[in-house]
Amino acid sequence: MGRSVIDVSPVKSADRTLDILELLATEPQGLKISEISARLGFAQSSTHGLVHTLESRGYLTLNGGHRFQLGARLIQLGHSVGDRLELRSVAREPLERLVAATHDTALLAVPERGELLYVDKVLSDASDIRTDPRVTSRRPLHCSSLGKALLAAVTDSAVLNVLDHAGFERVTPYTIADRKALLADLASTRQRGYSLDQQEAVSGVFCVGAPVRDHTGRSIAAVSLSTIKDFFNPAKTGPLVARAAVEISHAMGWKGDIAALFQPVPGSELLLIVGSETKSGRRR
């Protein structure tokens, strides 16, 4: 039986929205709605609606001469994309070294609206064991070593605030589903220097994790190693992950050391709730 064909023809309103943004990118002084309409050949009524929708969302701004220009929201999105590309670039070599030393799977994730967004992974050529999620897949913060590394890097009151926004559901039979127990687990993480996930996010998968910080000190990402129970050795792999997290953090402009990796920094909590719109750092 043949596969069904999905219609992937462009959506007219989306096409027109992108046309407006691309046109205004070439006009730093901005254009009036009538000028946008004439230049693009759109009806003025539909142009008016599209332009004001973009303005309301921050993608356009209106100057004193009734001319519309590109807005700050596009700049924020550009920073976010650029920062993630930079983060992946500086993290790749430390992740590859982790995998070479352990034959586990290394993961890099960023917080995104109360969840984790996986942005990179490195697999071992010497192991047939696959414990990796799909890059761009999502997972709750409270049940993985990556998420718990980020939560351990903020205060307990901030953790409870994040849980109020993001939810606190049991994912596997091993997920910590009691707030007091989770806070105790995060306290152990800070003392230990790395987080643990023992089948809490995926049955059969065991992980260690640590947070990554940027030049402001905020925890903007996390790294982890994952494996199966037979090969799980957190006393060995946990410190390796923590040192890799410090190395990546230094490349992103952080000046701290491993002893400060889990110290709370104002602003990290908001990143966990809203997303990873980070400021770019520089290599030292």
Report the CATH number that the domain containing residue 226 is assigned in CATH.
Answer: 3.30.450.40
Same domain, 85 and 61: no
Q: For residue 112, is it within any domain?
A: yes
Structural domain includes residue 249 = yes
Number of DSSP helices (H) and strands (E) in the chain, helices first: 9, 8
99 and 212 share a domain?
A: yes
Contact 221, 108 (CB under 8 A): yes
Q: Rounded to an integer, what distance in angstroms lies between the CA atom of residue 100 and that of residue 4?
A: 43
In this structure, is residue 282 part of a structural domain? no
Q: Are residues 264 and 207 in the same domain?
A: yes
What confidence tens digit (pLDDT) does each residue in 194-233 have?
A: 999 999 999 999 999 999 998 889 899 999 999 999 999 9
Q: In percent, how much of the chain has pLDDT > 70?
A: 83
Residues 213 and 132 in one domain: yes
- Total domains in the chain come to 2
DSSP secondary structure letter of residue 106? E
Task: State the residue for tokens 């190693």.
Answer: 225
pLDDT at 213: 94
Per residue in 141-195, pLDDT (tens digit) is 999 999 999 999 999 999 999 998 888 889 999 999 999 999 999 999 999 999 9
| Full domain range(s) for residue 26 | 12-70
User: Same domain for 65 and 109?
Assistant: no
Q: Are residues 180 and 270 in the same domain?
A: yes
The answer to whether position 260 is within a domain reads yes
Map residue 246 onto helix, strand or coil: helix
Decide which of 12 and 281 is more confident. Answer: 12
CB atoms within 10 A of CB 48: 15
CATH of residue 48's domain is: 1.10.10.10
Question: For 52-77, how does the pLDDT look when each residue is reduced to its tens digit (9 = 90+)?
Answer: 898 888 888 888 768 898 876 765 56
pTM of the model: 0.69
pLDDT digits (tens, 9 = 90+) for 115-141: 898 889 999 876 555 555 544 456 789
Sign of torsion over alpha carbons 217, 110, 84, 95: positive
